[in-house]
Amino acid sequence: MADIVEEIREELFKLQDEKYRDFQVKLIPGKDTDTMIGVRTPDLRKYAKTLGKNDKIEDFLNNLPHKYFDEDQLHAFIISEMKDYGKCMEETEKFLPYVDNWATCDQMSPKIFKKHKTELLEAITEWIKSDKTYTIRFSIGMLMQHFMDEDFDVAYPEMVASVRSEEYYVNMMIAWYFATALAKQYETILPFIEGKKLDTWTHNKAIQKSVESYRITPEQKDYLRSLKIR
């Protein structure tokens, strides 16, 4: 196992950009220069595509928790490229408990999920009940990405609105979800805002993000502003 883990780590350090690391470390709470290498996202995505074909990659994926943020990012991108749904879901379930920041959570987006929405929805309904911040955030992100258009159902915002958390990164994702939903499903989502179905902070943040959107009309923005909880 150590061979490929060390090989990958050495390659990441070859791709290191210290100025980028010093900039990025300010954006990711809980990370410092000891746990961040500083590899740019396009380089990580490119490297992930080559590693997906490595017959020893399982050793890297099993080597949890990783030492560096960049290894977590690489792990997320490897999962995102997997073409077998069963394997992809297995690796996602295994990795989610170790995701500890918003960037890794939000950038993990398996392409194969869009072809297996029924099975994905079953997993989402379990993830959203988790006690882990980024598992909940990931579940809401997947609902926003895959179930906001032709597959939309009012049961999904009801599921999101039922989440209560003290975690900033959960509540921010809920606000983002409702702001996006207002842009795409305004008439269905408006009652959630009018009925104050969210906690006060999240309610106001959803409205704030909505009125910043070009997809919301000026008239809708004016009305949404009137619904802010003072």
Domain-located, residue 186:
yes
Identify the pLDDT of residue 53.
84
In terms of domains, do 18 and 85 share one? yes
In terms of domains, do 93 and 143 share one? no
What gap in Å lies between CA 224 and CA 207, rounded to an integer?
A: 6
What gap in Å lies between CA 146 and CA 143, rounded to an integer?
A: 5
Identify the pLDDT of residue 55.
86
In terms of domains, do 221 and 122 share one? yes
Identify the pLDDT of residue 2.
62
**pTM recorded for the entire structure:** 0.95
Token output for 13: 């350090």
Q: 155 is in which domain, residue-wise?
A: 117-225
Q: At what angle do helices 218-226 and 200-211 cross, to 10 degrees?
A: 160
What gap in Å lies between CA 209 and CA 133, rounded to an integer?
A: 21
Identify the CA nearest to 202 among candidates 172, 162, 179, 222.
172
Residue type, 99: V
Q: Which of 71, 91, 115 finishes a domain?
A: 115
User: Which portions of the chain are predicted below pLDDT 70?
Assistant: 1-2
In terms of domains, do 46 and 87 share one? yes
Q: Which of 85, 115, 145 finishes a domain?
A: 115
User: How many residues comprise the chain?
Assistant: 230
In terms of domains, do 102 and 142 share one? no
In terms of domains, do 102 and 186 share one? no
Residue type, 25: V
User: Residue 210 sits in a domain of what CATH number?
Assistant: 1.25.10.90
Domain-located, residue 149:
yes
In terms of domains, do 11 and 84 share one? yes
Kindly report the number of other CB atoms within 10 A of residue 16's CB atom: 15
What gap in Å lies between CA 151 and CA 168, rounded to an integer?
A: 28
Identify the pLDDT of residue 52.
84
In terms of domains, do 3 and 106 share one? yes
Domain-located, residue 230:
no
What gap in Å lies between CA 159 and CA 23, rounded to an integer?
A: 36
**What is the total count of domains within the chain?**
2
The angle subtended at Cα 26 by Cα 67 and Cα 93, nearest 5°, is: 40
In terms of domains, do 94 and 139 share one? no
Q: Which of 72, 87, 115 finishes a domain?
A: 115
Domain-located, residue 210:
yes
In terms of domains, do 144 and 109 share one? no
